[in-house]
């Protein structure tokens, strides 16, 4: 086995990316979804904190680099189809979302199918304008 065989086992998409779910290790809350390329995954494992790939910027995204809301990685898991990565993380400051909330999944669907709507159900813990100056 070569040193990169573990990377070759992952089913990367046509753009060389794999979806990543960040789950808080202590609460099991799903905090966010992002993408990684090979470089981001290697850096995540070597550094011990989450590094993602930003598709909009076409660059590595060191989670918390600007906000300080770093994700310390406790475990890296690969699903049964080898096409989704789960990071079990410790979220610094308890804020994972750029909206200042604990989780990016703060909107809940309510109502009847034809008249349904999304409702924000989680509080803003910190004003995003004070996070991203």
Residue 2 has pLDDT above 60, yes or no: no
pLDDT on residue 133: 65
pLDDT one-digit tens code per residue, 5-22: 999 999 999 999 999 999
In whole angstroms, how large is the CA radius of gyration of the chain?
A: 16
pTM for this model (two decimals): 0.92
Pick the CATH number of 5-94 from 3.40.50.1970, 3.10.20.810, 3.40.50.2000, 1.10.1670.10: 3.10.20.810
pLDDT one-digit tens code per residue, 34-77: 999 999 999 999 999 999 999 999 999 999 999 999 999 999 99
Give the confidence band of 24 by pLDDT, cuts at 50, 70, 90: very high
pLDDT on residue 12: 98
When comparing pLDDT for 8 and 115, which is higher?
Answer: 8
pLDDT on residue 1: 44
Q: For residues 4 and 12, is the Cβ–Cβ distance under 8 A?
A: no
- Domain residue ranges of the chain, discontinuous segments joined by +: 5-94
Q: How many percent of the chain have pLDDT more than 90?
A: 89
């Amino acid at each position: 086995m070569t040193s990169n065989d573990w990377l070759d086992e992952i089913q990367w998409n046509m753009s060389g990316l794999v979806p990543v779910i960040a789950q808080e290790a202590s609460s099991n809350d799903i905090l966010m979804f992002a993408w990684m390329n090979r470089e981001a995954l290697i850096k995540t494992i070597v550094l011990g904190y989450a590094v993602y790939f930003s598709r909009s910027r076409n660059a590595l995204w060191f989670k918390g680099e600007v906000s300080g809301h770093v994700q310390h990685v406790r475990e890296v898991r690969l699903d049964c189809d080898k096409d989704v990565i789960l990071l079990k993380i410790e979220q610094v400051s308890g804020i994972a979302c750029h909206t200042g909330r604990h989780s990016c999944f703060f909107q809940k669907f309510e109502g009847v199918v034809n008249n349904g709507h999304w409702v924000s159900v989680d509080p803003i813990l910190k004003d995003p304008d004070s996070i991203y100056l």
